[in-house]
Amino acid sequence: MIPYAFDYTRPESVEEALDLLDDDAKLLAGGHSLVPALKLRLSAPGRLIDIARIPSLKGIREENGEIVIGAGTTHAEIMKSDLLKQHLPMFAEGAALIGDPMVRHKGTIGGSLAHADPSADWPAMVIAADGEVVLRGRNGSRSVAAADFFIGFYSTALEEGEIITEIRLPVPAEGTRMNYQKFAQPASRFAIVGCAVVRHPDGSVRVAFTGVSDAPFRDTGVEEALSGQQLTDDVIEAAAAKAAEGVSLNSDHFASEEYRQHLARVYCKRALNAVA
Ligand SMILES: Cc1cc2nc3c(=O)[nH]c(=O)nc-3n(C[C@H](O)[C@H](O)[C@H](O)COP(=O)(O)OP(=O)(O)OC[C@H]3O[C@@H](n4cnc5c(N)ncnc54)[C@H](O)[C@@H]3O)c2cc1C
């Protein structure tokens, strides 16, 4: 289908983009979620503000004990980043599992977090790595913990007139291990179930899921089952059996609630085995 007509602007800076961002406008990053929505006429903004080439939204750097990923950084750039391979290898490996080369070279991490597709990969990894999403509006910036950013089906803490500028991730201590496992939809590669696990040298483990429910979530039930334990086969088995317990499970033509629960346990066990 053909979208409704819209104006198109390409600002040079975040400040300029914020000035243009009114009720009738939508930000355009990689376009790999927005353009399909425009074509299906699920979204009909009067103006697109193309932020894909704003320099300050691009790139990956280390700063004050954190890895900072610009919101406009593409999945492919994350996949190739030596800094991420060194400190947060799950991100480089996870990026390689997203979509196909076209999606990875156009789609951005900021666009993915803002869109909050319940099957998107980044949310689970950013929550498990204890990331923060930095949002900028006309009155300044604020930071939201990734675990609080996703509030429901395609719904986030992003408010009208705000832009995600960057994602900040603590540089993990030496010896931290991390892994992301997903059961991918065979055509799109979206996660029917995705599980990210970060195991810190003090033995604490953070576990997060995507695809399972209407929003990604940190699974404290699994984390508590692992607390103070060595990751033996029995401990992993018992903890993974608690995956997505008490969560309202998605059900669609790809996977029923029961199957998703089963997949959550299987993929949690795989991710835990990988960091054990
Ligand atoms: C065929 C196909 C396969 C895919 N497979 C996967 C997959 O396996 N895993 C996966 O996770 N994703 C997958 N995706 C989605 C892909 O990763 C998208 O790129 C991503 O969801 C959106 O990023 P984008 O940069 O394209 O955003 P856009 O489509 O440009 O924007 C999406 C939404 O976010 C808003 N937005 C964009 N940037 C910002 C910002 N900085 N601040 C605030 N709001 C912003 C836009 O206004 C819009 O509402 C797939 C997409 C396609 C088309």
The rounded Å distance from CA 242 to ligand 1 centre is 31
Question: pLDDT of 111-163, one tens digit each?
Answer: 999 999 999 999 999 999 999 999 999 999 999 999 999 999 999 999 999 99
| Residue 2 pLDDT > 90 | no
Mutate-to-test residue for ligand 1 from 112, 159, 166, highest number of ligand atoms within 8 A of CB: 112
One domain, residues 60 and 26: no
One domain, residues 73 and 147: yes
Of 170, 197, 225, the residue that ends a domain is: 170
The rounded Å distance from CA 115 to ligand 1 centre is 6
| Residue 94 pLDDT > 90 | yes
Residue 2 lies in a domain: no
Of 137, 170, 203, the residue that ends a domain is: 170
The model's confidence at residue 41, banded by pLDDT at 50, 70 and 90, is very high
Tokens of 113: 């977090």
The answer to whether the beta carbons of residues 194 and 211 sit under 8 Å apart is: yes
Q: What CATH number corresponds to the domain at position 151?
A: 3.30.465.10
Q: What CATH number corresponds to the domain at position 23?
A: 3.30.43.10
> Which candidate, 100, 127, 241, places its Cα nearest to that of 194?
127
Q: Is 176 helix (H, G, I), strand (E, B) or coil?
A: coil
Residues in contact with ligand 1 by the CB-under-6-Å rule are 26-34, 71, 98-99, 103, 107-108, 110-112, 114-115, 117, 120-122, 158, 163-164, 188-190
One domain, residues 150 and 194: no
Residue 96 lies in a domain: yes
**For residue 28, which atom of ligand 1 is closest to its CA?**
30
Residue 111 lies in a domain: yes
One domain, residues 92 and 157: yes
Residue 255 lies in a domain: yes
The rounded Å distance from CA 24 to ligand 1 centre is 20
Of 170, 187, 209, the residue that ends a domain is: 170
One domain, residues 35 and 68: no
Residue 45 lies in a domain: yes
One domain, residues 187 and 92: no
Give the residue whose CA is nearest to atom 36 of ligand 1: 111
One domain, residues 269 and 205: yes
Percent of the chain with pLDDT over 90: 99
**For residue 100, which atom of ligand 1 is closest to its CA?**
3
The rounded Å distance from CA 4 to ligand 1 centre is 20
One domain, residues 199 and 244: yes
Residue 120 CB-density burial (10 A; 0-12 exposed, 13-18 middle, 19+ buried): buried
> Which candidate, 35, 69, 36, places its Cα nearest to that of 50?
35
Give the residue whose CA is nearest to atom 28 of ligand 1: 31
- Tell me, what's the pLDDT at 3? 87
The answer to whether the beta carbons of residues 28 and 48 sit under 8 Å apart is: yes
Residue whose tokens read 């819209």: 6
**For residue 34, which atom of ligand 1 is closest to its CA?**
29
The rounded Å distance from CA 225 to ligand 1 centre is 34
Mutate-to-test residue for ligand 1 from 9, 24, 28, 34, highest number of ligand atoms within 8 A of CB: 34
Residue 120 lies in a domain: yes
Residue 91 lies in a domain: yes
The model's confidence at residue 25, banded by pLDDT at 50, 70 and 90, is very high
One domain, residues 200 and 213: yes
The rounded Å distance from CA 100 to ligand 1 centre is 13
Give the residue whose CA is nearest to atom 5 of ligand 1: 99
* Whole-number Å distance between alpha carbons of 188 and 223: 30
Residue 1 lies in a domain: no
One domain, residues 20 and 76: no
In this prediction, residues 242-250 reach a mean pLDDT of 96
Number of structural domains (the chain) is: 3
| Residue 175 pLDDT > 80 | yes
Q: What CATH number corresponds to the domain at position 247?
A: 3.30.390.50
One domain, residues 16 and 38: yes
- Tell me, what's the pLDDT at 92? 98
In this prediction, residues 47-73 reach a mean pLDDT of 97
Percent of the chain with pLDDT over 70: 100
The rounded Å distance from CA 184 to ligand 1 centre is 17
Give the residue whose CA is nearest to atom 11 of ligand 1: 120
One domain, residues 259 and 211: yes
- Tell me, what's the pLDDT at 1? 75
Q: Domain range holding 34?
A: 7-50
* Whole-number Å distance between alpha carbons of 122 and 247: 20
Question: pLDDT of 218-232, one tens digit each?
Answer: 999 999 999 999 999
